[in-house]
A = this chain, B = another copy of it.
Amino acid sequence: MEEEEWEQPLDEAMDLKFTDAQQAFRAEVRAWLHAHVPPVGTLPSLDTQTGFEAHRAWEHTLAADRWSVVSWPEAYGGRGVGIIEWLIFEEEYWRAQAPLRVSQNGIFLLAPTMFTFGTDEQKNRFLPPMASGDEIWCQGWSEPDAGSDLAGIRSRAVRAPGDDGWLLTGQKTWASRGAYAEWCFGLFRTDPEAERHRGLTYFLVQMRSPGVSVRPIPQLDGETGFAELFFEDVFVPDAQVLGGVGQGWNVAMATAGSERGLSLRSPARYTEAAALLVDLYAATLARDPTLALPYADAVAQAWMDAEAYRLNTYWTASRVLAGGSVGAEASANKIHWSETDLAIHRTALALLGSSGERRDGNRWLDGYLFALAGPIYAGTNEIQRNVVAERLLGLPRG
């Protein structure tokens, strides 16, 4: 083999360093967050009315300086930066322990779908207020009898008498922030004859429309994390159909991929929690080695799981940048982050021992309860394993 064949253009060789421009971007993000992030724990829970509005105000602050949706085009309120810069932003955001994003459902679940399937009118109408926090979205995905089995949706839409829109009827559940959101996106059956995946349509519904009612669902810790939504002949104009009548399944699957995949779960969330776990371990080790040592392996594993997730995200991002796509790997991703989140918090609680059941000041317990939902929502991990086995390994359907 000739040596010349091995000469590589430098810009093509593997390189895990950030460019100077990326490092400058990071510095800018960090400085802004340092100046603006409210002290940890000062915002009330975003699952209360006052907390919801306090978090909306934070979204306004972010948006005012164009930090709410950095990867969006400038026209819609973003900065048009790339995926690597978005990951950098997220790393800094979590490192700064900035508030949870009340606008997350819209930004991370609906927006990617709207960029793909939305008309220009829809994008102009919906994206700017989503970016600014003026309009907060909740999802209308699951139904009481269609949880993991999304194709079993029964909520239906029939043509409105004026033939300028649809009348929606049915029940949706597990809508995070459903009690306070302005808008809802979700699937309704527009063709009752079609089977399962077919005949569904993706609607954008104003929550204040006549016929919409909401029942908050208290979570196991007593907080109101999500809500049931009831629709009774709710009128939705044709302009609020996303991606075409009867196309709902394909449109929704794009969003589902995004929920499971890259965009919802930035690795920074886990790497930051893992770093705090190492701190907790070190403090426990200093206090009482016999208490800490049995968890050395679990602490190291949790840290590694978070770090492996970070590396895998950069690996995937590089593939996407090179024109690749994310398919069933999103299912592998979802299994990994949900198990990582649980492992981090379970290990922290083990280090805390009996103190772990205290609620006063115990952020690890709140994090654990949150992590418990991970293997369940956005498609249970059982469903994800089916996807991995069938689509990545070619095993036959059951």
Contact = CB atoms under 8 A, between A and B. Distances in A.
Nearest to A298: B297
Q: Is the interface of A mostly helix, strand, loop or mixed?
A: helix
A293 interface: yes
A206 B294 CA distance: 57
Contacts of A293: 293
A296 interface: yes
A56 B294 CA distance: 48
Interface residues of A, number: 4
A237 B252 CA distance: 68
Contacts of A297: 294, 297
Contacts of A294: 296-297
Nearest to A300: B294
A293 B296 CA distance: 10
Contacts of A296: 294
Nearest to A294: B297
A40 B294 CA distance: 36
A137 B296 CA distance: 50
A296 B293 CA distance: 10
A396 to B, nearest CB: 15
Nearest to A295: B297
A293 B293 CA distance: 9
A297 B294 CA distance: 7
Interface in A254-308: 293-294, 296-297
A326 to B, nearest CB: 31
A246 to B, nearest CB: 33
Nearest to A398: B398
A34 to B, nearest CB: 40
A297 B295 CA distance: 9
A144 to B, nearest CB: 21
A302 to B, nearest CB: 15
Interface in A293-339: 293-294, 296-297
Interface in A49-71: none
A211 to B, nearest CB: 39
A387 B168 CA distance: 45
Nearest to A296: B294
A147 to B, nearest CB: 18
A308 B294 CA distance: 22
Nearest to A297: B294
A386 to B, nearest CB: 14
A272 to B, nearest CB: 26
A293 B297 CA distance: 10
A304 to B, nearest CB: 15
A346 to B, nearest CB: 15
A297 B296 CA distance: 11
A293 B290 CA distance: 11
Nearest to A293: B293
A352 B154 CA distance: 59
A26 B294 CA distance: 39
A296 B294 CA distance: 8
Interface of A: 293-294, 296-297
Identify the 4 closest CB pairs spanning chains A and B, nearest first: A294-B297, A293-B293, A294-B296, A297-B297
4 contacts: A293-B293, A294-B296, A294-B297, A297-B297
